[in-house]
Amino acid sequence: MNKVKVLMMLRMPEPPVTGGEIYYSKLRQYLQDRSVDVDNYSWQMKPYKGPFQYILGSVLKNLCLLRHLRSISSNTVIMEDVADSPDLFLFNAVTRVARGFFGKKIYIVPVVHHLESPLIKKKVLKRMKLLEESIFFSFSDGVVVNSKFTQKLVEHSLSRDVGIVLAYPGLNVSGIRKDLSKDLGKNLESIESRHSDKKRLHLLFVGYVTSRKGVDTLIKAFEILVKEKGQENLALHVVGNTDRDKAFSQKVKDYSREAGLDGQVIFHGRINDRDMEELYMTSDIFVFPSLWEGFGMVLAEAASFGLPIVTTDAGAIPYLIKDGVNGLLVPPGDAEGLARAIEQLAKSPEMRARFGEDNRKMAEEFDWNKSFSKIEGLLDKLACEG
């Protein structure tokens, strides 16, 4: 690994918040621990303000990034997030020309957590994005993906043979090898005392409070459970940053309050890892009604704590959660279906226990070092080619 340098053109704020940011932060640390020369250049995405401003902003960012090209030495691997492809498209093209002209061994390796093209509904824009992704991947020197589902999408978009490395995320918060019975009674009693003297079944959601995560569907499903199905012994814990879409976050909070669910729906906001572990340990069902996931790190985290899971059949999720095996799957955006699935699990302790046991076994597959060793292997291969 001493032959190659790594330039990570990836967003890595401190502290990392999203699953992708955590992935990149841990990858950087893994490589540095192995004496790899790692540098990082990142920038923040600007909010979308229309097609003209979007295109202009991307062109300006590409031109800005080109200033760094002269300082990139030979035997450097540039790792990029495919989410930044518009800001890197021209930069990558010039880099490929420059490396051939000057004889520099510079390699481009995109990292893919999820693709944007499946989320675009307008046909013209979707085709343009598919073409952009195809060019982005086909002219790279290797691609890192985080799930088998994403791997298939990338393979479908390639116009030439490019090596793909499947490197799953690990677990940021993990219940593996923990004695989950330890202090469980005390923690549960603490939570109960804050809400009700009556024993409740605790539902847990973890993720950004945004429309893509389906939080509005979750609140509507919970309302159905309480008001129409008489499941008044439920409590719903919503954990996650509310700043990504403040208007949406306020909308779901207002809906919850106006529906009279204030005493049963608790918005925790963003919390530390210790409090997160406590909520995982003291919850009964994990609910994640996302509209689309390229992997779904929180599903693996919840599984490691032995939680049964209700989620959607969107994106990569069915690769982790098998309907009727370790969880229940419903169509995204289906509040009625989500309520029925939660009710089914709520009424069946035996099913919850069976799903939870299978999830604990499944979660053992996700290990940072095991995954990152595969990326290290790709870097070694590129170094040897140099």
Give the residue with greater pLDDT, 377 vs 54.
Answer: 377
The tens digit of pLDDT for each residue in 103-117 reads 889 999 999 998 989
User: CA 280, CA 276: separation in Å to the nearest integer?
Assistant: 6
DSSP 8-state class, residue 382: H
Q: What is the pTM of this model?
A: 0.84
Characterize the bridge pairing of strands 265-269 and 234-239. Answer: parallel
Identical fold, 5-170+367-385 and 184-363 = yes
Torsion of CA 157, 160, 166, 172, to 10 degrees: -60
Which of the four pLDDT bands, split at 50, 70 and 90, describes residue 21?
Answer: confident
CATH of 5-170+367-385, one of 3.10.450.50, 3.40.50.2000, 1.40.20.10, 3.30.70.270: 3.40.50.2000
What residue ranges do the domains of the chain occupy? 5-170+367-385, 184-363
pLDDT of residue 350: 96
Provide the pLDDT confidence category of residue 47 given band limits of 50, 70 and 90.
low
CATH number for the 184-363 domain, one of 1.20.140.10, 1.10.3720.10, 3.60.10.10, 3.40.50.2000? 3.40.50.2000
In this structure, which long-range contacts are made by residues 162-167, counting pairs with CB atoms below 8 Å and at least 24 apart in sequence? 162/137, 162/138, 163/378, 163/381, 165/374, 165/375, 165/377, 165/378, 166/374, 167/371, 167/372, 167/374, 167/375
The string of pLDDT tens digits covering residues 248-300 is 999 999 999 999 998 899 999 999 989 999 999 999 999 999 999 989 999 99
- CA distances 18 to 11, 12, 47, 88, 144, Å, are 10, 10, 17, 21, 18
- pLDDT value of residue 196: 43
**Span 135-179, pLDDT tens digits:** 999 999 999 999 999 999 999 999 999 999 999 999 988 888 776
The mean pLDDT value for 208-236 works out to: 96
